[in-house]
Structure 1
Amino acid sequence: MRPTQALRGGGGDAPLGRYGKYLGHWGHFGSYKQRGIITYAMSPNRQNPFAGAAHDAVFNTWRRFSKQVLYVAPPLVFFYYAMSWATDRNHYLNSKEGRKEYADSE
């Protein structure tokens, strides 16, 4: 049995990709080795992950609250007063005075 082309490896028998393109050496599949890429990093013990967290939390919360309050507050106030009126009306209709007032309507 003959091994597949990828298992043969080496020089001229390098693996070809789906479209007959050279895949590259092991560890660098798909392209040539890249050059000119510069990365910067900072040591983890030099970072302060919570720098300004309390300040940002206060002002970010205020910003989000002020953007949404006009969408939430008017319906909330309306339905609170509607529920309050309905509760008071129910208590009145189930009291002596309410039963006496609406006794003939049944």
Structure 2
Amino acid sequence: MFPTRALRAGGDSPLGKNGHFLGPWGNFGGMKQKGIITYGLSSNRQNPVAGAAHAAVFNTWRRFSKQILYVAPPMIFFYYAMDWAIHRNHYLNSKQGRAEFADAEE
């Protein structure tokens, strides 16, 4: 048997035959896996909210502190740019602004 055929087929199952059943989900015709141990705990013995408040506070702070330098400088810049634009617009539409720039609009 060729090594590539064994690798693609997953063992001794035939490759390329029509009507070959691959097996149920998780067992696509390959060799059975050995040495996998799974443990379970009954749902009535678990505490689903154990440490949730503690994790929420510290996880929120960790994520906030990692992203603040990416978010804060542009927000501060655009806040001051918008504040300047609003004040400039109010000045240009006031009596003093119209008197100062009345002849410059042509």
TM-score, scaled relative to structure 1:
0.68
- Number of residue pairs the alignment of both structures matches: 87
Q: CA deviation at 1:29?
A: 7.1
Q: 1:66 corresponds to which letter in structure 2?
A: S
C-alpha change, 1:81 and 1:35, in structure 2 (3 Å) is closer
Of all paired residues, the percent bearing the same amino acid is: 69
Corresponding residue for residue 104 of structure 1: 103
Distance 1:48 1:33 in 2: 34
TM-score, scaled relative to structure 2:
0.68
Displacement over 2 Å in runs of 4+? 16-20, 26-39
C-alpha change, 1:51 and 1:101, in structure 2 (3 Å) is same
Which runs of 5 or more residues in structure 2 are unaligned? 1-12
Matched, 1:73 2:68: no
Q: CA deviation at 1:34?
A: 5.8
Corresponding residue for residue 17 of structure 1: 14
Q: CA deviation at 1:17?
A: 2.9
Which runs of 5 or more residues in structure 1 are unaligned? 1-15
Give the CA RMSD over aligned residues.
2.6
Distance 1:32 1:70 in 2: 51
Relative CO higher for 1 or 2, CA cutoff 8 Å, sep ≥ 6? 2
Worse overlay, 28-37 or 62-71: 28-37
The higher radius of gyration belongs to 1
